[in-house]
Chain A
Amino acid sequence: MNPNHQNRHGCSGVSRRSFLADTGMGFTGLALGAMMFRDGIARADDSAWRPPTGKPHFTPKAKSVIWIFLCGGVSHLESFDVKPELNKYAGKSISETPYKDVLGTEGKDVIGANPVHGNRKVIMPLQAGYKAYGDSGLVVGDWFKNVGECADDLAVVRSLWTIHNDHGAQLTWQTGRHPRELEHPTIGSWVTYGLGTLNENLPEYVVLGVPTGDCCGGAFTHGAAYLGPEHGGVRLNVDAKKPLPFIKPPDGVSQEEQAANLSLLGKLNHLSGIDYPDDQNLRARIKSYELAFQMQMSIPETLQLEKESEATRKLYGIDKPECKAFGEQCLAARRLIERGVRFVQLFHGGGGGGDWDAHSEIKSNHTKLAAQVDQPIAGLLKDLKQRGMLQDTLVVFGTEFGRSPGAEGTGRDHHPQAFCAWMAGAGVKGGTTYGATDEIGFHSAVNRRYVTDIHATVLHLLGLDSHKLEVPGRKRLDMDHGEKIHEILT
């Protein structure tokens, strides 16, 4: 959407539908039955726009999403789109190879290019080995051996491209928009806006790990823009002691005392509500206090990873120092999904341009970082599968762009012309690959797909039609909606 297509909806957005449902007023003593007579009134204008009902538009395959994002730009060439031709032409200039034509269109679709990046001509050989896995024979680089073992569950999209050649593309991955257009709703916010919550004790949309740095999208990468802050991601630290702002009751106030405070508050709010029986905000506020009170307990409980068995913790690699942090995040993600959180966004290597940004020493950089995530991600897939959760949970693995086939010293440069991502779980045809880059992985060549085509696929699996989610005054373009990748669906 062009930012010029105007905001007539103000700084935040629509109110939290789920709170307005006429259910669960958990206080005793005073019935709210007399309240909300307005609910029974037919509105004059039935054609008026209404926020989504929370019901899918058609039968969904997936219920919830774990959205893994690796910050800085993971090499597609040595992960899920391995290119042996690079070994053959190593050290040669691209212009000396049969693929010299690729240079002519470098940067064609890059907007607001940072001139520092690109124009890497001397081919660098693969920095990792590779192997075919599973019945599908999916070729995966050795940095991702553990994920490789799950090959038959993965659908790899090898023909992605993005619009910007710097790390602002991290924001693009979440919103589909060029970073200079700033804040737009993220995929996570669309999902929760469309479907609401599955558990009123927990937020709908949770963010784990260190998100993208301020340079490159910052809080916008997990925001909701005009959909309103209630649909933005709630950042949790995987630390049961301080998972989110203001979660801890003041020192010296016991749970019983807080409950008693809340009870008095409920009584007083109900009393003043007698004069204002149609006040939806009052109702929503009463409800929000109940959820907040629940969250004080439910969130720390959810994050008590020590309650998991030793075997499970090992599966995620939590026993290994290099895997511990991300392993805990992956395990926390499973526990959150299990308890009804709709969308978990998992960041790895966030802050600044991102850890995966291997302009030099890509071999040691990617070896080290992959060791942090490979087993935890594989563990997550295996754990979800063994619990039967993979049937209705969608796991998405992505990064902002690929890395250049040409060498930048001992590293690889940013490469927006081509990169890859994969999906696994609910409704996804495992063991498939879709689209292709050229022989040296320079351009997305066959069935090119833009970032929002991944978004469209996710929404489709959740039973949502993004056109039906549009907010009046917030016209979205085809580029925002994207097109689902039909070929990777069951």
Chain B
Amino acid sequence: MTTEPRQANAVVARLVLAVLWAIGATTLVATPANKAALEKHYDQFLAKSLARCTTCHLPSENKNPESLEDFPHNPFGARLRAVGEQLVSDGKKKDIPARLQSIAREDSDHDGVDNETELLLGHNPGDAKDTPSKKELTEAKGKRGEFQKFLASYRWQPFEPVVRPKVPLLAKATAIRKSGDSSAAFPIRNPIDAFIAAEHQARGLKTRPDASKEILLRRVYLDLIGLSPTPEELAAFERDASPEAYEKVVDRLLADPRHGERWARHWMDVWRYSDWAGWSGGNQIRDSQPHIWKWRDWIVESLNADKGYDRMLAEMLAADELAPQDTNALRATGFLVRNYKMLSREQWLEDTVKHTSQAFLGVTMGCAKCHDHMFDPISQAEYFQMRAVFEPHWVRIDPVPGDTNLMNAGLARAYDTATNSPTYFLHRGDERKPDTNRVMEPGMPKSLGGAFAVQPVSLPWQASRPDHREFVYHDALAAADSVVEQAKKTLTTATNQTIAIERQLLLDIAQSQRDALAAVIETERLDDTGRKNSEPWKIAATNAVFQQRLSSLAVAKLKHHQSKTAEAEARTKADPASATIAAVTNAVAQVSTNKAAPADATKQAREKTTAALAEAQKKTGEAAKLLADAEATVKSPADVAFKPRGTQSYPTTSTGRRLALARWLGSTNNPLTARVAANQIWLRHFGQALVPSPNDFGRNGKPPSHPKLLDWLAAEFMARGWSTRELHRLIVTSTTYRMASTPDAANAQLDPDNTFLWRMNSRRMEAEVVRDNMLYVGGSLDLSMGGPDIDHTLGLKSKRRSIYLRQAAEKEVEFLKIFDGPAVTECYIRRPTVVPQQALAMANSELTTGEAKALAKRLTSDSGEDPAAFARSAFARILARRPSAEEMSHCREFLEARTASSTSIRAREALVTVLFNHNDFVTIR
């Protein structure tokens, strides 16, 4: 390896080939995904000796095999292939399980034993010499029976369209009873509970009871809005004895705008939100783009409006094609804009393909850039087909009303460029080795099915010529007006005649430029409405030329005036009697030791001033000529060749490729979109996903704990119009969600990782929730919504919610980073850590100190002098619960001791600080 070039992708490709060759040398090569499918179909029934390429292939006759074609099929493999070809010609999907099923009873190698029996008994079905013994055959029937039972069980098939599974009917003879019976240990409140309870029953797990009202309320508040309940809210909930007390809270929280902020942060993890990164105050934007915070606001607003998830992803991928004039929707393309990478278009597109597929499909397409996917049925060619979807797109910043400076304000968005460069197949994924003979057309992996139809989209002029929108004209004129106003103001403060003349000329320029701009815009308006070269247009254009000439004349007048002024100054200096020359001569004489110096210095100074005067005269002459030219030009007849305004124009059509992708993804036939989204949502409610690898639903990911439940949730999600709010409601109102998180030794023996959810998981708050709650509980949180990202160095000074703080490479809030804030590059799952830096931040930061002081003061004024009352209200406010008697006694003891050594208020601040540092503060039970 040490002498090889180490370009990473090339290395991967070489590694893969090396693996294939290594296998080839001794045994055989198979399409890795086919081999994986064989293993998956037979699962634990497949002997290790058959989980090999040799099950279908023969050794290569070629000493240095170069491709799969060098490894011929054995009779079993040949048959499997033939069936596949038949299925394709019948217009069906050629999936391995169907093919294996259809040739199970055939005897491919003609050794008298059928293929499936041979496979189940550990013998090669394609090798006639490898046949089961008679003794082995006696076990065949039993094994076939077990295998049939296995085949009939619920199979997790994430690459097949979602089919709604039946909700399990539960045996009555258990502690689990039907819904409506609230005294049941595990009431079935909705179908989620039936799926969960069925697993509990099957595994002998005793379900935990509902959590206490205190714990449940804090859990659901933090989960749905990211802020803990106030003591008043807790009291009201505890008072409400109605059966739907909890559901009422859920409804209220789901309708709370803070819900959008809370869940936007989750989706920002999945969709890789990043503010722009780079240097020099925006002069070098390396990653993402300025104004991308508008995409964040779009996420918050969309969630609060309960926009369908299918629509959300369509807007993110293709709002410019779907709703090209809707500037609100266009913000959503921040999803694409975020991948912008100044230094490498290759990396930009690679990230786009990789993360689009991981976020929405839970498929690791990235692997297939260099080689056919090792585990999933995705070919390298299909990778480049997916890439072709994104190849034409680029990013730009459009103006927004109210500001003409695009660095100050703008809309960062995606669009398709006119130069639709072809997507080449890159040999081994190496950008240096494009196969220019293989131009890849856009497409989706065949194994995922569905219709992918690309229709080019004609764009309205507002999209292709954004600078011609009325507000842009208006803002440009308003800006010119304000220059005129400023010039008028400046003129009134002139202190002498010369300055007054100059300022008057400046005002003339401003006015003439404004008039010229107005005239140009007049022509553009006519042009916009298809009246270019019409009579009115010609008049306007002629006027524009005239106004621009006047403007040039005004500039020439100013220059002439300035050069005359400069000339007059130079003449004064050059006057031999001038004080300036005498002063210079004296100065030189003083510093010089040379007796002859004064005369020399005088001479030199005189030469200098004379030369300066000559230069000034020359300039005045030039300015006078320019002025005369300008005057002559104004007097000459005007034509229509005005100087146009500097504007951007873009293609009038878009390829429609991304819209096709969005429609393919948002189809109810797409096997993965709903499953992946439901799994992401589940993960964030339970701290544990149903498919533990939320960005990899493929063979290399982890299998689901509850495949049926996830399929049911996906079906339900789509049936409810892809409403994330309805999915949240369903989940948080289930009994499963309401369970206590307390342990149970017997259950822990059976299921130590709580895979089957016999209790709720305790979790640590995410970084943002820690910070937000510290501010909220302390009473300082500023709940205003939206707007530009707040400088990351103000992380502890700002009182806004953490979602509004800047987050980009090298621009992260230190406090949030310490609490495992989201990695900028990729964050499909958060893994909270426990490190001493967190303890230091919680114990010593100005945030803690400030909030502790404020809260101690406020609670004292509410609860009075009684230390016990203070401790109780501190527990209620900070931990949203009552203290136990023992906790109370420790707190009182602490308050007493600290009051004795310090003061009462200092003691109380200390207690509040301790409670902020309490494990229960950062933990959601």
Query: B743 to chain A: which residues have CB within 8 Å?
Result: 38, 276-278
Contact bitstring A59-77, B, C-beta under 8 A = 1, else 0: 0000000000000000000
* B160 part of interface (Cβ distance < 8 Å): no
Bound complex: CA A163 to CA B841 (Å): 39
- With a cutoff of 8 Å between Cβ atoms, the chain A residues found around residue B830 in the complex are 10-12
Query: Could you tell me if A289 and B839 are in contact, using CB atoms closer than 8 angstroms?
Result: yes
Q: Which chain B residues lie closer than 8 Å to A284 at the CB level? A: 834
A109 touches B6 (CB 8 A): yes
Q: A249-B844, A288-B834 are in contact. Are A276 and B7 (CB under 8 A)?
A: no
Question: Which of the 9-residue segments A122-130, A187-195, A291-299, A458-466 touches chain B?
Answer: A291-299
Q: Say whether, besides A6-B364, A178-B8, A246-B844, A12 and B832 are in contact (CB < 8 Å).
A: yes
Taking CB atoms, residues of chain B closer than 8 Å to A248 are: 844
Residues of A within 8 A of B827 (CB): 10-11
Residue interface bits B827-840, CB-to-A below 8 A is 1, else 0: 11111111111111
Which chain A residues lie closer than 8 Å to B367 at the CB level?
A: 2, 4-6
Q: A6-B364, A448-B2 are in contact. List 20 more A-B contacts (CB 8 A).
A: A4-B369, A5-B366, A8-B696, A10-B827, A14-B831, A38-B743, A112-B344, A180-B343, A215-B279, A218-B809, A229-B817, A247-B840, A248-B844, A261-B843, A267-B890, A271-B887, A276-B743, A285-B834, A295-B840, A478-B1
Given that A4-B367, A12-B820 are known contacts, is A178 also in contact with B7, CB under 8 Å in the complex? yes
Task: State A60–B564 Cα separation when bound (angstroms).
Answer: 85
Query: Which residues from 886 to 925 on chain B have a C-beta closer than 8 Å to any C-beta of chain A?
Result: 886-887, 890-891, 894, 897-898, 901-902, 910-911, 913-915, 917-920, 922-923, 925
Chain A 233-263 interface residues, beta-carbon cutoff 8 Å to B: 234, 244-250, 253, 257-258, 260-261
Q: How far is it, in angstroms, between the C-alpha of A230 and the C-alpha of B822 when the chains are bound?
A: 15
User: In the complex, what residue of chain B is closest to A181 when comparing beta carbons?
Assistant: B8
A-B contact pairs, 10 of them (CB 8 A): A2-B367, A8-B695, A8-B701, A9-B829, A12-B831, A12-B833, A13-B833, A38-B752, A271-B887, A282-B923
Q: Mark A160-194, 1 if CB is under 8 A from B, else 0.
A: 00010000000000000110111100000000000
Given contacts A11-B831, A15-B833, A272-B919, contact A6 B696 (CB under 8 A): yes
Chain A nearest CB, measured from B466 CB (Å): 32
Complex contacts, B742 vs chain A, CB 8 Å: 275-276
Binds A, one of B9-17, B311-319, B410-418, B569-577: B9-17
Q: Judge whether A311 is part of the interface by a CB distance below 8 angstroms.
A: no
* B884–A271 CB distance below 8 A: yes
The reply to whether the CB of B849 lies closer than 8 angstroms to some CB of chain A is yes
Residue of B nearest to A183 (CB): B825
B745 touches A (CB below 8 Å): yes
Interface residues of A in 137-152 (CB under 8 A from B): none
In the complex, A229 Cα to B767 Cα: how many Å?
13
Shortest distance from the beta carbon of B19 to any chain A beta carbon, whole Å: 11
A249–B843 touching, CB < 8 Å:
yes
Question: Is there contact, CB below 8 Å, between B837 and A245?
Answer: yes
* Closest-CB distance, B140 to chain A (whole angstroms): 29
Interface centre among B279, B818, B910, B911 (most CB of A within 10 A): B910
Is the C-beta of A268 less than 8 angstroms from some C-beta in chain B? yes
Q: Is the CB of A288 within 8 A of B369?
A: no
- Of the candidates A203, A244, A249, A478, the one having the most CB atoms from chain B within 10 angstroms of its own CB is A478
Chain A residue numbers with a CB within 8 Å of B890 are 264, 267-268, 271
- A289 with B12: CB separation less than 8 A: no
Residues of B with Cβ closer than 8 Å to A? 1-3, 5-9, 11-12, 15, 269, 279, 343-344, 347, 354, 358, 364, 366-367, 369-370, 692-693, 695-696, 700-702, 741-743, 745, 748-749, 752, 762, 764, 809-810, 814, 817-818, 820, 822-823, 825-841, 843-846, 848-849, 884, 886-887, 890-891, 894, 897-898, 901-902, 910-911, 913-915, 917-920, 922-923, 925
Q: Decide: A19 and B700 in contact? CB cutoff 8 A.
A: no
Instruction: Select which of B2, B364, B764, B886 is within 8 A of A4 by beta carbon.
Output: B364
Contacting pair B836 A291 (CB below 8 A)? yes
The reply to whether B366 and A13 contact each other, CB–CB distance below 8 Å, is no
The answer to whether A7 and B826 touch (CB under 8 A), given A109-B6, A257-B910, A261-B910, is yes
Q: Which residue of B lies closest to A225 (CB)?
A: B823
**Residue picked from B367, B742, B845, B914, most chain A C-beta under 10 Å:** B914
Q: From B827, which residue of chain A is reached at the shortest CB distance?
A: A11
CA distance A249 to B3 in the complex (A): 53
Chain B residues within 8 Å of A287, by CB: 834
In the complex, what residues of A have CB within 8 A of residue B902's CB? 257
Q: Contact check: which of A203, A288, A450 meets B838 at CB < 8 Å?
A: A288
Give Cα A61–Cα B306 distance, bound, in whole angstroms.
61
Evaluate contact between B843 and A245: CB separation under 8 angstroms.
no
Instruction: Check B354–A4 contact: CB distance below 8 A.
Output: yes
A43 close to B752 (CB less than 8 A): yes
**Contact A292 B12, CB 8 Å, known A15-B833, A483-B1:** no
Least CB separation from A478: chain B residue: B1
Measured CA separation A453–B4 after assembly (Å)? 13
Cβ–Cβ < 8 Å partners of B822 in chain A: 11
**Bound-complex Cα distance A177 to B8 (A):** 8
Partner of B834, one of A8, A19, A43: A19
Contacts of A178 in B (CB 8 A): 6-8
Is B844 a contact of A247 with CB atoms below 8 Å? Answer: yes
Q: Which B residues lie within 8 Å of A289 (CB)?
A: 836, 839, 843, 917
Contact A453–B844 (Cβ < 8 Å): no
* CA–CA, A16 and B700, complex, Å: 26
Q: Is A41 an interface residue (CB 8 A)?
A: yes
B678 to chain A, nearest CB (A): 19
Query: Which A residues lie within 8 Å of B828 (CB)?
Result: 7, 10
A436 to chain B, nearest CB (A): 14
Complex CA–CA separation, A260 to B809 (angstroms): 39
**Interface contact A281-B762, CB-CB below 8 Å:** yes
Specify the chain B residue showing the minimal Cβ separation from A485: B2
Query: By the criterion CB–CB under 8 Å, are B898 and A257 in contact?
Result: yes
Partner of A180, one of B347, B829, B831, B910: B347
B841 contacts A245, CB within 8 Å?
Answer: yes
Partner of A278, one of B748, B829, B846: B748
Give the Cβ gap from A398 to chain B, nearest Cβ, in Å. 17
Residues of B near A229 (CB, < 8 A) are 817-818, 820, 833, 835
Asked if A50 is at the interface (CB within 8 A of a chain B CB), the reply is no
